[in-house]
Structure 1
Amino acid sequence: MILPGASLTEAAEVAERIRLKLNEKEMLIAKSTTIRISASLGVSSSEETGDYDFEQLQSLADRRLYLAKQAGRNRVFASDNA
Structure 2
Amino acid sequence: MTTTIDDLLGRMWSDESDTVAELQPDGSWTVTGRQGRYNRNQAITAMVLAESYAAGTPADDPFVQGWEAELKEPHHG
Q: Is TM more than 0.5 here?
A: no
- TM-score, normalised with respect to structure 2: 0.29
* Bigger relative contact order (CA 8 A; separation at least 6): 1
* Higher gyration radius (CA): 1
